[in-house]
Amino acid sequence: MRLQSRRAGSTPHERGAGSEPASVPSRCLEGQGRGSMNRRKALGSALIAAALLVGCHTITEELPTQPTKEPSSGVLTVPIPTIPLSNPPTPTPTPTATPTPGPGPTPEPEPTPEPDTEPEEPPDSSGCGRPQPPELTRLKVKIHLKGPRMATLDSTPLVGPDAGYCAKIGFTDGRSFCPVRPEGAPDREACEAKVVGRAEDTGRPGPTWTREGHYCKGESSGCENNPDNQYLLWAYEGGSYQACAKNGVCGDVEVDR
């Protein structure tokens, strides 16, 4: 009790003596207040920084991300989606240049057909058909039969040289001189008359016969024309006999009697 009274009821002398020390706690309290405020500010800044770090970490974790090749990287990767085009443009095809055609092979000229040597006019009234015979060039005369009373002479008109014509009418042995038609041809007589003509003395189709340069008028003249065929002659006497066509071609033969 005495102790409490002494402390509470200190004398003015005691307070005057201790007034200088009494101001020290006030400044200390002011310094302590300032330090406390600084500590509080630092603590608030630290809490704000921690909250920011936690918030950033939380935002980074909540963003939809895709795994990257380097997971340790701290860079935020946001994929950009590809937006497909609704109607992609159709590329315009580049026109291909048409090559200029080069010159083709020169066609070989076709051979010009040889002109037909046959006459173009139709057969005459004599009845000689195609192919028309060429001009008479020979008149072959021979003794066909020889009997006790007379000899029979025969004459054959020949045309040529024309192997092509001879082959066309049936003589395929390569000859170039031939009769106007083969034996038995229906128009042989007409074709022979066409190339030989008519006899000067009788007027019949066939050659003109002479003996020693004279017409054959009967047995008294030594010779006689066959009554059925102008190309045949009966020779009663020997001598030189001749048969001639209208173009002057003649054939002769010697007869011994």
Query: What is the DSSP track for the chain?
Result: -HHHHHHHT--HHHHHHTHHHHHHHHHHHHHHHHHHHHHHHHHHHHHHHHHHHHHHHHHHHHS-----S-TT--S---PPPP---SSPPPPPPPPPPPPPPPP-PPPPPPPPPPPP-S-SSPP-TT---SSPP--EEEEEEEEEEE-SS-EEEEEEEEE-S-HHHHHHTT--S--SSB-SS-TT-TTHHHHHHHHH-B-TTT-SBSPEEEETTEE-EEGGGTEEE-SS-TTEEEE-S-EEEEEE-TTS-EEEEEE--
- What lies within 8 Å, CB to CB, of 86 at 6+ separation is none
Q: Locate the domains of the chain by residue range.
A: 136-255
pLDDT of residue 93: 72
Q: pLDDT, tens digit, for every residue of 110-166?
A: 766 555 554 455 545 669 999 999 999 999 999 999 999 999 999 999 999 999 999
Whether the predicted pLDDT of 81 surpasses 50:
yes
Distances, alpha carbon 201 to alpha carbons 115, 167, 205, in Å:
40, 35, 11
pLDDT of residue 143: 97
**Model's pTM, two decimal places?**
0.53
Q: pLDDT, tens digit, for every residue of 191-234?
A: 999 999 999 999 999 999 999 999 999 999 999 999 999 999 99
